[in-house]
Amino acid sequence: MAATIATRAALRAAVVDALLDGVSVSGRILVARSWPVPGPGQAVPQALPALLVQDGPRILSGAAQGFGRMRCQMRVLARVAGRDDATREAALDALDTEIRAALRSNAALAALVLVVEEIATDRETSVEGQLTLAEDQHMVTFLMAGFD
């Protein structure tokens, strides 16, 4: 269990480093429980766009057969603000491209995982006062080894 926690912490740090190196909002990439964007009705457009990296559920795979592999998921939330749909969509599309490229091409992250198996994205829009926010939730699945 302790090795799993340490491995997930290392994976989370590697994901953040990959995003810092490859995404244009690198000054606003945060780790779970540090999301600085205020809640509903209090959004601050100057704090956006921003990314948040959170642990997802871990899924053990093949341990019973001695394969020692584990799938780890990380959630990367990308939040933007904008007055119109086209502006928000363009900002999220640009971030989506950067996030995918950063996670698939970072050498340090590639050394830690066997493969980035999937990056699934859901998009949501919400209105907070006169400001409309849009958010992409990227669920990234990594296949990792060494869990016998």
CATH, residue 59: 3.30.70
Nearest one of 2, 6, 43 to 129, comparing CA atoms: 43
* pLDDT tens digits for range 90-137: 999 999 999 999 999 999 999 999 999 999 999 998 877 677 889 999
Contact, 125 vs 92, CB < 8 A? no
CA distances from 9 to 31, 38, 79, 85, 102 (A): 11, 26, 23, 36, 19
* Domain-located, residue 135: no
* Domain-located, residue 51: yes
* Domain-located, residue 60: yes
Question: Looking at the 3D structure of the chain, how many domains does it have?
Answer: 1
- Its domain, for residue 84, covers 2-34+44-128
* Sole residue written with tokens 């584990």: 70
* Domain-located, residue 61: yes
pTM, full prediction = 0.84
